[in-house]
Amino acid sequence: MERTLIILKPDAVQRQLVGRIIGRFEDKGLKIVGAKMRRIPRETLERHYSDHLGKPFYERLLAFMSKDPVLILALEGKNAIAVCRKMMGATFGSKAEAGTIRGDFGISDSFNLIHGSDSPEAAAKELKLFFAADELVSYDIISAPWIYDEDELAPGPPGRSRTPH
């Protein structure tokens, strides 16, 4: 199981798309293990977007992201990082495929509704930046055996079943 950091950006909050976007992740079988609504301080955004420092859109990006509250989520599931990125769609709303979150809900290239970690390294860094360890909650969901094959839920290498058939 993998965890990823998702931010529903100020445009998603202002356009009241939060429920519909979270619903897509829940429908997929991803589990919410952390959630908080915040206005992100500039200093945190500078750390989060350090790779974009110096790019032409950097200042506008920070102004947009700090202007209004966002919903910050930690999601857990099998291949959660790649699965969420696929569900989000391409960065630019005008280019994102129909069926993806950006493809279905947005057309702007800078107000693109959602952020998701793009690698395990980024997920580890971003989860730490936005959540204290005790703000992430481990729990079982009762539908897990219907979302996953039991082999996928079992600890240890794939193929090792928890219960003998």
Report 26-55 residues binding ligand CMP (CB under 6 A). 52
Q: Are 116 and 74 in contact (CB under 8 A)?
A: no
What is the per-residue binding string for ligand CMP in 91-110, x denoting contact by CB under 6 A?
A: x-----------------xx
Nearer to ligand CMP, 3 or 115 (CB): 115
Nearer to ligand CMP, 60 or 162 (CB): 60
Residue of 61, 122, 129, 154 interacting with ligand CMP (CB under 6 A): 61
Give the DSSP H/E element, type plus range, for residue 70: strand 70-77
From residue 61, how far is each of 9, 35, 74 by CA, in Å? 11, 22, 22
| CA pair distance 65, 51, nearest whole angstrom | 15
Q: Which of 48, 52, 115, 165 is catalytic?
A: 115
Specify whether 48 is catalytic. no
From residue 19, how far is each of 12, 23, 25, 56, 129 by CA, in Å? 10, 6, 10, 32, 24
| CA pair distance 113, 70, nearest whole angstrom | 10
Minimum distance of ligand CMP from residue 154's CB (angstroms): 34
Minimum distance of ligand CMP from residue 57's CB (angstroms): 4
Q: Which residues bind ligand CMP (CB under 6 A)?
A: 52, 57, 61, 91, 109-110, 112, 115
Q: Catalytic residues, which ones?
A: 115
